[in-house]
Amino acid sequence: MKSLTTRLMIAAAALVAASAASAQVTTTNIPFAFKVGSNVMAAGKYHVDLRGLGGTVVIRDAAWHSVTVMPSSHMDTIPSSVAKLVFQCNRGNCSLVQIWPGGSGLAATFKGPKPTRGEEASLSVVTLFPAE
């Protein structure tokens, strides 16, 4: 009986892990041009692969052009069912600064430009949806 229980627990854990991994490819429409690392991306529809959140993140546009970026750090998030991208915008130039994976977990953070003295920066948040 103990062996059967152990096998069922292992199977359930594998199923949860597989469904979590498949749910990590997301899509969104970003209505403004933005910068990721040193890459400038146009406004449009994007697929974001969050499976590598501990390592790399892949952002791909509709024409299959992709950018692979490495987070500069990670931070604890408030548990949320919504995955999102956070952009810092200074003088109309927006840079990706965070990716929240949804659920509980660590958000990936990226280095953005530092506002100059007296300059105001704003944040724009774009929701990620499961890929179609």
Instruction: Report the distance separating Cα 111 and Cα 36, nearest Å.
Output: 9
- Examine the pLDDT at 67 and tell me if it is beyond 70: yes
pLDDT band at 40 (very low <50, low <70, confident <90, very high): very high
Percent of residues, the chain, with pLDDT higher than 70:
77
* Structural domain spans, the chain: 24-130
Residue percentage of the chain with pLDDT more than 90: 29
Per the DSSP assignment, residues forming a β-bridge with 100 are: 84
**Is 118 strand, coil or helix?**
coil
At 6 the pLDDT is 43
pTM: 0.74
- Cα(26)–Cα(20) distance, rounded to whole angstroms? 12
